Homo-oligomer: A and B are copies of this chain.
Amino acid sequence: MSGNVFGNVFRISTWGESHGKAVGCVVDGCPSNLELSEKDIQKELDRRKPGGRFASKRMEKDEVELLSGIFEGKTTGAPISMIVYNRDVKSEHYENIRSKPRPGHADLTYWIKYKHRDWRGGGRSSARETVGRVAGGAVAKKILGKYGIKVIGYSVEIGGVSCEIKAESEEDYLKIFKKSERSELRVPERDAEKRIAELIENVRKEGDSLGGIAEIVILNPPAGIGDPVFNRFSALLSFAIMSVPAVRGVEVGSGFKVSRMRGSENNDPIVLRNGEIKLLTNNCGGVLGGITTGTPVVLRVAIKPTPSISKLQRTVDLDRMEEVELRIEGRHDPCIVPRAIPVLEAMCAMALVDQMMIEGIIPRSF
């Protein structure tokens, strides 16, 4: 129940600060006999890594080291401890704002709660904390791979520019994902991508930032997952997603559009296809009554504009208790959506593995 542990049977503990020695995580509950190497983890960390035209210029290779839980190339069932050393720490940008909580950040609330704040780069509330999540998610994805399950994500809207996503089959989703992975912005449509890239460039020059919407999809999910009433699978996923920094909303299937739909439109007709029960549409987003239907689980996630902007902002100096103006220096992403996607995928993958283990679908040993 304390805040830095996630999951019940497949369980992750993350640790580390933005400007501390290292960040890392411990994965407990991973089944034994899973082939796992640092390469599997690194692949996902690389997707989240800073750098590139639209991201922070902090130079972090984010190289992961596996400290335990693997023997002879396979998991043993013991906890997997992973560590990523912080290499490019520059705390000097933060020196002059150490008593000035940045608007839109956790600075103020951490200070209220803990009375002691790690002012260096946001400390624990920095998005750097998500390194541990992505590392844990990489393990979860490896497990899901054994069941042919994939968790994918891409940008569907940034700065108000949206791309039309049409996916009627798992193949469609995979094509969209592949396109998005070739885009630095994870936008699966060339035209939209171009317009968004320009917009980001302009906004960055103004010292401002942009928000957006990501779509996360679980392909080939098992049917029947989710505990009814409280622990609905949709609720478990929402918890996982809303725990990611900068997320301000989540919806499943037709989501907020339901307000403008009739029951007759929103209900997915139940049909037979080759003798099997299927849903004709997927407005339910893969979850009915909190339990998976076996159709793709489709979520959309609202991600706020990066709060770290170089535009002048109003805040209060906590030492002197007076209003001051603040200009945030440093290396910040003008839009966090692309780098948030691997984190969101990781959270959904871990939530699914955890629930599948709770329900006995994934054994303790492969």
The smallest C-beta distance from A153 to any residue of chain B, in angstroms, reads 15
- Stretch of A40-48, A167-175, A182-190, A289-297 on the interface side: A289-297
9 A-B pairs besides A3-B29, A106-B289, A250-B250 with CB distance below 8 A are: A1-B358, A3-B230, A71-B120, A157-B259, A235-B240, A242-B250, A256-B256, A261-B305, A270-B314
Whether A21 contacts B67 by the Cβ 8 Å rule is yes
Q: Which of A107-122 contact B (CB under 8 A)?
A: 107-110, 112-118, 120
With most chain B CB atoms within 10 A of its CB, the pick from A17, A160, A287 is: A17
Contact partners of A157 in chain B: CB under 8 A: 259
Closest to A270 in B: B315
* A77 is an interface residue with CB less than 8 A from chain B: yes
The smallest C-beta distance from A88 to any residue of chain B, in angstroms, reads 17
Whether A14 contacts B79 by the Cβ 8 Å rule is yes
Q: Which of A2-31 contact B (CB under 8 A)?
A: 2-11, 13-17, 20-24, 26, 28-29
Whether A321 contacts B106 by the Cβ 8 Å rule is no
What are 25 A-to-B residue pairs whose CB atoms are below 8 Å?
A1-B358, A3-B226, A3-B229, A8-B8, A16-B79, A33-B114, A71-B123, A76-B116, A76-B124, A104-B288, A105-B288, A108-B277, A113-B364, A125-B289, A159-B259, A160-B260, A203-B262, A211-B266, A224-B364, A248-B251, A249-B251, A250-B250, A263-B309, A264-B311, A272-B316
* A213 is an interface residue with CB less than 8 A from chain B: yes
Whether A231 contacts B3 by the Cβ 8 Å rule is yes
The smallest C-beta distance from A33 to any residue of chain B, in angstroms, reads 5
